Amino acid sequence: MSRIREALTKIETGARPVAPYSPVRELKPRLVERAAYAEPAYVEPVLAEPVEAYVEPVLETPAYEAPAYEAPAYEAPADAATLPGIPEDFYRELSGLRHTLESAMPGRTTRVVQFAAAVAGEGTTTVAASFARVLAQDPMLNVLLVDANVRRPGLGLFFGLPESAGLKALSDAGAAAEAGHYVQSVERPNLHVLTQAPRTGDLAHVFAPEAVRAFWAGFGRNYQWVIVDAAPVIEAPETSTLGATVDTTVLVIEASRTKRGVVQRAMERCVKAGVPVLGVVLNKRRLDIPEFIYRRI
């Protein structure tokens, strides 16, 4: 009752009752004082060591330079030193002559080749004998060297051999089977020489063509090469007769000595006699320029 009375009294007097507690907490704002701005202290920067950037190396391929061409040096066979009197360049020329003759006469079992000059003194005996010696270096070849110069035979003197019946007597007698008793071996077992005794008188028809052909076919078949050392074409008519029985003829001309007209006359005589001429060998040739340049021009 007392509480009701108090409430009525307050209403009448306009006073509000005081709650025993406050439902809302009164919040007061906090005042924060801002500190004054201070310039930051300067710090000396620490410089790091510079780092170089990695650059990928570029591999450059050197430009290709072709090596200078050098002509291969000629190498003589191991037994070339056993051929005295044949210089290296002469040996090379004779080896080339062999290949030329083989190409001109392929497939022949026996090759009969006559060497002859236009006039005397050209060096035919030296060239023919040297060529036979070069051929005989091949052990697979049997070589017969025949002296057919009945006027001035030279193979006996060249090799230091005695004279024999020779081609004339053996062919006329048809004694091809007996020729083996007259040939002589020199330097090598496969190189045989048939020397000739000098003859005088009328020698124009000293050789009978049919008899000589029979000699080549009979006794010559024992050899792969038959090399004939003949007399000069212009001075010895019998050389043209003999040339008609062989496979081919090689003219030997001394360089810078024999005139062109003389060589032309020798060629014409061979043509009239039906003598096949393969070509000309220039003996004692001298080069005014180095040889390797001469071979390229």
The answer to which of 18-32, 69-83, 248-262 has the lowest mean pLDDT is 69-83
Residue percentage of the chain with pLDDT more than 90: 37
Per-residue model confidence (pLDDT) at position 254: 85
Two tokens, residue 242: 């003999």
pLDDT at 145 over 70: yes
| Predicted confidence (pLDDT) per residue in 206-233, tens digit | 889 999 999 999 999 999 999 999 999 9
Two tokens, residue 166: 């020779």
Q: What is the CATH number of domain 90-294?
A: 3.40.50.300
Per-residue model confidence (pLDDT) at position 72: 44
* Highest mean pLDDT (candidates 95-104, 200-209, 258-267): 95-104
The answer to which of 2-16, 43-57, 200-214 has the lowest mean pLDDT is 43-57
The region that residue 256 occupies, defined by phi over 0 for left and psi between -120 and 50 for alpha, beta otherwise, is left
Where exactly are the structural domains of the chain?
A: 90-294
The answer to which of 21-25, 260-264, 266-270 has the lowest mean pLDDT is 21-25
Using an 8 Å Cβ cutoff, are 242 and 228 in contact? yes
pTM, rounded to two decimals: 0.68
Query: Rounded to an integer, what is the distance from CA 191 to the centroid of its chain?
Result: 30
Query: Rounded to an integer, what is the distance from CA 250 to the centroid of its chain?
Result: 27
Q: Tell which residue, 248, 250, 243, has the closest CA to residue 279.
A: 250
Per-residue model confidence (pLDDT) at position 99: 93
Per-residue model confidence (pLDDT) at position 124: 93
